[in-house]
Chains A and B, each alone.
Chain A
Amino acid sequence: MLKNMTKKQKKMLLRISIALVAYGIALAAPLPKLVQTILFLCIYIYISYDILKKAVTNIGHGQVFDENFLMAVASLGALALGEYSESCAVVLFYQIGEWFQSYAVNRSRQSIADLMDICPDYACIEVNGTIEQVDPEEVSVGDIIVIQPGEKIPLDGIVTKGTTILDTSALTGESIPRQVTVGDEVISGCINQSGVVYAQVTKEFEDSTVSKILEMVENASDRKSKSEDFITKFARFYTPIVVFSALALAVIPSLVTGNWGQWIYRALTFLVISCPCALVISVPLSFFGGIGAASRRGILVKGSNYLEALSQVTRIVFDKTGTLTKGNFKVTQIHVEKGTQDELLELVAKIESFSNHPISKSIKEMYGKSIDTSDVDNVQEIAGHGICATVGAVTYYVGNTKLMTRIGRKVDETACGLGTVIYVCSDNEYLGYIEIADEIKENAKQAIHNLKASGIQKTIMLTGDSRHVAEAVAKKLDMDEVHAQLLPTDKVDCVETLLKKGSEKEKLAFVGDGINDAPVLTRSDVGIAMGALGSDAAIEAADIVLMDDDPASIATAIRISHKTLKIVHQNIVFSIAVKVLVLILGALGLTGMWAAVFADVGVAFLAILNAMRCMNVNGL
């Protein structure tokens, strides 16, 4: 425990201990009254000199509502009233409270830093046959880095030599190791487990995944939630109100009753609890813990405000491809009207080789041979429709039914199964179609169930795919609503309409894979990007980033947000209630200063401990 403390904290702890022991002696030992008083005075000076000093400097700067100043007034006032023992106790408890606060915050800061211990210390580059260790920041794009087993991958890159197994758990929270070989992408922050690999750097350190993630987590607590804003505002009014009430309490009843000593004592009790610090710290500490807990599960939350919004989400909109399905298209059927299957496949592969849509990739994969594109010209990609291009002298159209309708060609829609169908036609004839099917992720159904169990009322699916594919997938997953055949811009409109339907309190989240859906991610209340490891656009546009592509993480994130917000609300209600109660009791003279400060520090203590529970993710 000691080694986790800063020097300042250790010193303070020693000071508090000495003062506590001395205080105990002064109370318990049979000392003559005068000696006891002197001892109390010594303890008072010993434990409160820094408060008094700060009070003087801060009041010099016009900080009337400074907690040190108020504490000094309260304790000196008590001394003046002859309450020596009480005055010491007040300052002593106050110092204990402050110390604990700083210790707790420091601890949670450290444990979050440990959790985010993904930052590489060095990078190894090969220079003239020898391996040199350099600062990752000095490595530039195109350099070849060498990663030994057990080392962290310092920068994002592509493997040029070697095969190994990577432990991505620090980034994704996922324990299954990932195998990489020549041509595969490696992401900074992963740990190389088995073999030596050489990789060509693709991004500078400051743009690498590790830097992006660290920056995001660090800045997360800058985006304040509504609860934090409420607390900050509350704090701004709380202190002045308590101070003025104290003044009123000291003067008005005294003028009426003439009993100055009694009412001044009660007023000083007010000052003792005028600091709102416990409240002000316990709320951001909870969010900090919640965000830290989430990042341990591979869920990066960009700000406290998003964690708060997530807890109010009642409707979740999913993009289908890559989110609920694997985005791993396979050609399942080739139907030809004319010619052979191979001819059709070759033609489509040629044309599709100009697109980087997942569908094109799978067609190229199916074709498997090298593609000669020398006779392809005038390639035009029509978003959400398909591609048209000229091969030789003929113009071909390759795309979905919408493209076919657009060029005025009728196709047979009923013949196909549940995949996406790519129709092929030339200027004057229909050539056939290729069916490509995507697989539903294994745990997608469970994920949707879990979401329902954690209070999500409605799950909605958006897709550019045809209606019958969309409906089949939605039915399998038990989703409530489907919107199919949407262009990227339609998705934005669709989300806008859904947003208008809900009330302010019912937030809407959108889950996408970050490809083509940045506008929707931005537009929704909470934008969640999935499988975003290494995708800059997604990390940029989303509010919450899921490092792995497991849809079950969404439910985990929601549970973390619920837990965090519950703790935040508990803390706010509990702290304010106790403060108000103590104020009332103090005004009625039912509690002394000693008890007031004890209650105040106790509340802070409990609120902070409660807030630290947010960091625990076990069972979520």
Chain B
Amino acid sequence: MKKTYKIEVDCANCAAKIEDAIGKMETVNKARVNFMTQKMTLDVDGDIDQIVKEVEKVGKKVDSDFEVYA
């Protein structure tokens, strides 16, 4: 399942690092964090609403300002 979220991410480098970290999660097939559009696209199997919460946690670990507006 694929879904796009509005996010807040502060810098381009952080976005790249967050994309990297989220992409490595087992539950996530593919992730895109777009700094320019402030949007994140997740491709996951399973309960996306649950997974996006974990994604936010992982993202926050990279940069504490990371925010997902679900």
Residues on A lying within 8 angstroms of B by beta carbon are 54, 57-58, 61-63, 66-67, 98, 101-102, 105, 109, 218, 221-222, 232, 235-236, 275-277, 280-281, 284-285, 288
Distance, CA A607 to CA B34, complexed state (A): 20
Q: CA–CA, A54 to B37, complex, Å?
A: 24
- Chain B residues in 8 Å Cβ range of A98: 10-11
Q: Is B44 an interface residue (CB 8 A)?
A: no
**Binary interface encoding of chain B residues 31-63 relative to chain A, with 1 for a CB under 8 A from any of its CBs, else 0:** 010111111010000000000000000000111
CB-based nearest A residue for B38: A109
Q: Name 16 interchain pairs, CB-CB below 8 A, sorted by A.
A: A54-B63, A58-B62, A61-B61, A63-B61, A63-B63, A105-B35, A109-B36, A222-B32, A222-B34, A232-B16, A280-B12, A280-B16, A281-B13, A284-B12, A284-B35, A285-B36
Bound CA–CA A222/B35 (angstroms): 10
Give the interface centre of B11, B38, B41, B61 by most chain A CB atoms within 10 Å: B11
Check B11–A277 contact: CB distance below 8 A.
yes
In the complex, residue of chain B having the shortest beta-carbon distance to the beta carbon of A221: B36
Lowest 5 A-B CB distances belong to which pairs? A281-B12, A61-B61, A280-B12, A280-B13, A57-B64
CA–CA, A424 and B26, complex, Å: 65
Q: Interface centre among B38, B39, B64, B65, by most A CB within 10 Å?
A: B64
CA distance A281 to B35 in the complex (A): 9
A101 with B16, Cβ < 8 A, contacts A54-B65, A218-B39 known? no
Chain A residues with CB below 8 A from B12, complex form? 277, 280-281, 284
A105 lies within 8 A of B13 (CB): no
Tell me, rounded to whole Å, the shortest Cβ–Cβ distance linking A611 to chain B: 11
When the two chains form their complex, are residues B64 and A58 in contact, meaning their CB atoms are under 8 A apart? yes
- Cβ B13 vs Cβ A235 within 8 A: yes
Given A54-B64, A63-B62, A222 and B11 contact (CB-CB distance below 8 Å): no
- Determine the residue in chain B with the shortest Cβ distance to A278: B12
Q: Given the complex of chains A and B, what is the CA–CA distance between A277 and B35 in angstroms?
A: 12
A451 to chain B, nearest CB (A): 30
User: Contacts A54-B64, A58-B64, A61-B61; is A67 near B34 (CB within 8 Å)?
Assistant: no
- A221 and B13: CB pair below 8 A? no
- Note all chain A residues with C-beta closer than 8 A to B41: 222
Chain B contacts of A288 at CB under 8 A? Answer: 36
Q: State whether B36 touches A284 (Cβ < 8 A).
A: yes
Contacts of B35 in A (CB 8 A): 105, 281, 284
A61 lies within 8 A of B36 (CB): no
Select from chain A the residue with minimum beta-carbon distance to B15.
A280
Contacts of B62 in A (CB 8 A): 58, 61, 63
Task: Determine the chain A residues whose CB is within 8 A of the CB of B63 once the complex forms.
Answer: 54, 58, 63, 66
How far apart are the CA atoms of A222 and B10 in the complex, in Å? 17
B56 to chain A, nearest CB (A): 14
Known: A63-B62, A281-B11, A281-B12; 11 extra A-B contacts, CB below 8 A, are A58-B64, A61-B61, A102-B10, A105-B36, A221-B36, A232-B16, A277-B13, A280-B13, A284-B12, A285-B36, A288-B36
Residues of B within 8 A of A232 (CB): 16
Contact between B37 and A67, CB atoms less than 8 A apart = no
Chain B residue at smallest Cβ distance from A236: B16
- Give Cα A254 to B12, complex, Å: 36
Give min CB distance, B17 to chain A, whole Å: 8
Nearest CB in chain B: distance from A387 CB, A: 43
Residue of B nearest to A53 (CB): B64
- For B12, B62, B63, the residue with the greatest tally of chain A CB atoms inside 10 Å of its CB is B12
What does the 1/0 interface line of B6-35 toward A look like (CB < 8 Å)?
000011110010000000000000001011
Which residues of B are found within 8 Å of A61, using beta-carbon distances? 61-62
CB distance from A260 to the nearest CB of B (A): 31
| A58 and chain B: residue at smallest CB distance | B64
The distance from the CB of B1 to the nearest CB of chain A, in whole angstroms, is 16
Q: Which residue of B lies closest to A113 (CB)?
A: B37
With A58-B63, A222-B41, A235-B16 known as contacts, the answer to whether A67 contacts B36 (CB < 8 A) is: no
Q: Determine how close the nearest CB of chain B comes to the CB of A241; give it in whole angstroms.
A: 15
- Chain B positions within 8 Å of A275 at CB level: 13
Residues of B within 8 A of A218 (CB): 37, 39
Q: For the complex formed, measure the closest distance between the CB of A243 and the CB atoms of chain B, giving whole angstroms.
A: 14
A276 to B35, CA, bound (A): 15
In whole Å, how far is A213's beta carbon from the nearest beta carbon of chain B? 15
